[in-house]
């Protein structure tokens, strides 16, 4: 008989090994009451790796329904005093969103019927070349797909927080994304909102990832409960182990309703190559995670394209360089104003003829980079949109929508930013406030434009016309009917 949950650790480990072997034997006998067998062996809380092994053994049953039922039964641990909180599948037994969905404590955000939701057109990624489209039906995800979600460093802390961050990302108010590769074809979404494969297993992804609860459990476990070791343990974790490259269920993002697919042509052979490369990288020891030099986007680009690249880091570097140029322009303006105060009492030719050099330098280092950024971004976008239209990745109406929307962005955001920068010297005298305006004028203008654009699309165009373009058929993807019909 299994020992109670208070048994020594060695007895629990031996019991979990016996449980795993019995489950493997029972998986080949259809008459075996597998859930009852699991329940009889659930008197001892088994560790994370034993839980994973037991789930793998249970999932080998031919029937997907029996596999899901066994998975639920294994995940519970009932002590002598009644039901107790089971150990989760996360690090150190931390509960994950998938555990809540499998235990039917709550349902994922994908349980809602999305068939009636109005699909938004694709949007432009941060590199102004790549297009991403929101996934309306997760059952259309295939192995080898490259997906992104709005970056959420507090993921799995609260379901409401995950939903809020995802919603902000859907309105293009969050500019950074988290990347992952899908390893399995999603066949359907079960009643709990968990994406499943054709044989009833949970669809898996591979990524650099971690959550706040798992990170806290790892830090506390490594410090062995000693407060004196906690600061050094946290520093080591932040620099060397804050994320791990591993496989996870796609259901871990069940509180994130908005997932985006990177648009690209992929053959079945290419998809198999991507999955094989992802599994190879997952099985081998990887370089330590680094936000700048080795993040999730680097890994996905390495798997898919074969080269180490992150467009988000390039965007951040350009933003930092533009802010540095703005700082140089502000310093030149301040020196010019100080020189002008001196020139009021100086009547030499040098003082009278060189009083505007600082203002010219200010605009060269602040206004000109913004105008060039808006212009170059639209040119890159136009080339990419037209190329993907030729590959039939987007429809003609989506192509026109993207070109019109981003042209409006280039004109409106660029003009607003340049106007704010030009008015700053005359309306603001404080140096720090000038620096804040020059630093954040572009991003604030872009966010305001996104708010108005999405409000107009979601509240006016979609309810009234069922689409975000005013010309053409309601569903451009639907083929034309035969004239005889």
Cβ-contact 195, 250 below 8 angstroms: yes
pLDDT interval class at 466 (50, 70, 90): confident
pLDDT interval class at 286 (50, 70, 90): confident
Q: Residues 26-36: what's their mean pLDDT?
A: 45
Statement: residue 403 has pLDDT above 90: yes
Q: Residues 247-257: what's their mean pLDDT?
A: 94
Torsion, CA 473, CA 477, CA 481, CA 483, rounded to 10: 60
pLDDT of residue 421: 93
Statement: residue 13 has pLDDT above 50: no
> Closest by alpha carbon to 131, among 3, 253, 311, 278?
311
> Closest by alpha carbon to 362, among 328, 321, 320?
328
Statement: residue 18 has pLDDT above 90: no
Q: What share of the chain is helix, strand, coil (3-state, %, to 5)?
A: 55, 10, 35
pLDDT of residue 142: 95
Residue 14's contacts (CB-CB under 8 Å, 6 or more residues apart) are none
Instruction: Please calculate the CA angle 294-295-297 and round it to the nearest 5 degrees.
Output: 115
Least confidently predicted of 244-253, 354-363, 440-449: 354-363
Q: Residues 343-350: what's their mean pLDDT?
A: 49
pLDDT of residue 113: 53
pLDDT of residue 222: 85
pLDDT of residue 339: 59
Q: What is the pLDDT of residues 438-447, one digit of tens each?
A: 999 999 999 9
pLDDT of residue 340: 55
CA distance readout (Å), 213 to 45, 153, 155, 244, 394: 19, 11, 9, 14, 40
CA distance readout (Å), 405 to 338, 365, 385, 411: 43, 28, 12, 10
pLDDT of residue 117: 62
Q: Residues 437-459: what's their mean pLDDT?
A: 93
Q: Residues 201-220: what's their mean pLDDT?
A: 91
Cβ-contact 461, 121 below 8 angstroms: no
341/360 Cα distance (integer angstroms): 17
Q: Residues 216-228: what's their mean pLDDT?
A: 84
Residue 413: count of CB within 10 angstroms of its CB: 24
pLDDT of residue 124: 94
Q: Residues 257-268: what's their mean pLDDT?
A: 94
Percent of the chain with pLDDT over 70: 74
Position with higher pLDDT, 348 vs 202: 202
Cβ-contact 250, 205 below 8 angstroms: yes
Q: What is the pLDDT of residues 73-114, one digit of tens each?
A: 444 444 444 344 568 888 888 999 999 999 999 999 998 655
pLDDT of residue 26: 45
Residue 391's contacts (CB-CB under 8 Å, 6 or more residues apart) are 265
pLDDT of residue 338: 66
Residue 195: count of CB within 10 angstroms of its CB: 27
């Amino acid at each position: 008989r299994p020992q109670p949950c208070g048994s020594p650790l060695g007895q629990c480990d031996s019991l979990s090994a016996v449980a795993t072997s019995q489950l493997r034997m029972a998986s080949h006998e259809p008459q075996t009451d597998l859930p009852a067998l699991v329940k009889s062996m659930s008197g001892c809380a088994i560790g994370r790796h034993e839980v994973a092994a037991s789930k793998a053994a249970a999932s080998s049953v031919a029937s997907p329904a029996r596999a899901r039922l066994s998975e639920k039964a294994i995940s519970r641990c009932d002590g002598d005093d009644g039901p107790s909180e089971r150990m989760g599948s996360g690090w150190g037994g931390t509960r994950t969103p998938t555990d809540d969905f499998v235990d039917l404590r709550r349902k994922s955000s994908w349980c809602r019927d999305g068939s009636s939701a109005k699909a938004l057109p694709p949007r432009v990624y941060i590199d102004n070349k790549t297009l991403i489209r929101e996934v309306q039906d997760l059952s259309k995800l295939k192995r080898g797909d490259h997906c992104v979600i709005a970056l959420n460093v507090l993921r799995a802390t609260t379901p409401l927080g995950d939903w809020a961050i995802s919603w902000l990302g859907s309105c293009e108010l969050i500019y950074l994304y988290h990347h992952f590769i899908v390893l399995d074809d999603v066949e359907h979404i079960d009643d709990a909102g968990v994406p499943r494969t054709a044989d009833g297993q949970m669809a898996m992804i591979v990524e650099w990832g971690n959550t706040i609860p798992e990170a806290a459990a790892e830090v506390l476990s490594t410090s062995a409960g000693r407060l004196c070791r906690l600061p050094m343990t946290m520093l080591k974790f932040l620099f060397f182990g804050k994320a791990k490259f591993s496989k996870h269920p796609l259901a871990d993002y069940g509180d994130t309703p908005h997932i985006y697919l990177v648009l690209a042509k992929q053959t079945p052979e290419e998809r198999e190559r991507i999955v094989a490369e992802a599994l190879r990288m997952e099985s081998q020891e990887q370089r330590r995670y680094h936000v700048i030099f080795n993040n999730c986007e680097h890994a996905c680009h390495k798997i898919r394209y074969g080269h180490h690249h992150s467009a988000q880091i390039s965007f951040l570097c350009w933003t930092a360089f533009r802010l540095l140029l703005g700082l140089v322009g502000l310093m030149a303006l301040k020196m010019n104003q100080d020189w002008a105060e001196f020139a009021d009492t100086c009547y030499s030719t040098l003082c009278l003829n060189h009083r505007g050099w600082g203002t010219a330098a200010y605009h060269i280092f602040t206004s000109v980079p913004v105008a060039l950024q808006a212009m170059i971004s639209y040119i890159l976008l136009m080339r990419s949109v037209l190329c993907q239209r030729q590959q039939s990745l987007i429809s003609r109406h989506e192509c026109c929508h993207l070109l019109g929307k981003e042209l409006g962005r280039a004109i409106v955001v660029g003009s607003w930013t340049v106007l704010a920068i030009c008015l700053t010297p005359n309306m603001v005298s404080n140096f720090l406030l000038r620096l804040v305006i020059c630093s954040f004028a572009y991003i604030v203008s872009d966010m305001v434009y996104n708010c108005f654009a999405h409000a107009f699309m979601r509240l006016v165009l979609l309810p009234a016309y069922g689409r975000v373009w005013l010309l053409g058929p309601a569903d451009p993807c639907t083929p034309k009917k035969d004239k005889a019909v």
